[in-house]
Amino acid sequence: MTRAVVTGAAGFIGSHLCAHLLAAGDTVLGIDVLTDYYDPALKERNLRDLIPHPSFTFHRVDLLEAALEPLVDGADVVYHLAGQPGVRPSWGKDFELYARRNVLASQRLLEAVRDRPLRKFVYASSSSVYGDAPAIPTGESVCPRPLTPYGVTKLSAEHLCEVYRITLGLPAVSLRLFSVYGPRQRPDMALARLIEAALTGRPFPLYGSGEQTRDFTYVHDVVTAMREAACSSFTGVANLGGDAPVSMKHAIAAVERLVGPVNLDPRPSSRGEARHTAADIALAARAFGYRPRTELDDGLAAMADQSVIDLARQPESGSTGPRAMWRGAT
For ligand NAD, the closer of residues 14 and 144 by Cβ is: 14
Pair 283, 225: CB distance under 8 Å: no
- The number of residues that bind ligand NAD (CB under 6 A) is 30
- 3-state SS, 176-235, equals EECCEECCCCCCCCHHHHHHHHHHHCCCEEEECCCCCEECCEEHHHHHHHHHHHHHCCCC
Q: Hey, is 246 helix, strand or coil?
A: strand
Beta-strand relationship, 213-214 and 246-247: antiparallel
* Distance between CA atoms of residues 117 and 114, nearest Å: 8
112 is a contact residue toward ligand NAD (CB under 6 A): no
Query: Which of 18, 19, 34, 72: binder of ligand NAD (CB under 6 A)?
Result: 34
Cβ nearer to ligand NAD, comparing 31 with 262 = 31
Choice between 101 and 323, CB closer to ligand NAD: 101
Distances 46 to 34, 80, 191, 244 between C-alpha atoms, Å: 11, 17, 18, 28
> Is 180 near ligand NAD (CB under 6 A)?
yes
What is the nearest approach in angstroms of ligand NAD to the Cβ of residue 300?
Answer: 15
For residue 88, CA distances in Å to 124, 128, 163 come to: 19, 12, 28
Q: Is 150 a catalytic residue?
A: yes
Q: Which one is catalytic: 37, 79, 150, 181?
A: 150
Among 83, 131, 137, 272, binds ligand NAD (CB under 6 A): 83
Query: Is residue 118 near ligand NAD by the rule CB under 6 A?
Result: no
User: Does residue 13 bind ligand NAD (CB under 6 A)?
Assistant: yes
Query: Please, what is the end-to-end C-alpha distance for the chain in angstroms?
Result: 41
- Give CA–CA dist 99/112, Å, rounded: 19
Q: Of all residues in this chain, which one has the CB nearest to ligand NAD in the complex?
A: 11
Stretch that binds ligand NAD, among 26-34, 191-199, 275-283, 298-306 (CB under 6 A): 26-34
Between residue 264 and residue 283, which ones bind ligand NAD under the rule CB under 6 A? none
For the CB of residue 279, give the shortest distance to ligand NAD in the complex, in Å.
11
The residues of the shown chain that bind ligand NAD, judged by CB under 6 A, are 8, 10-14, 31-35, 37, 43, 62-64, 81-85, 101, 105, 124, 126, 154, 177, 179-180, 186
Q: Which residues are catalytic?
A: 150
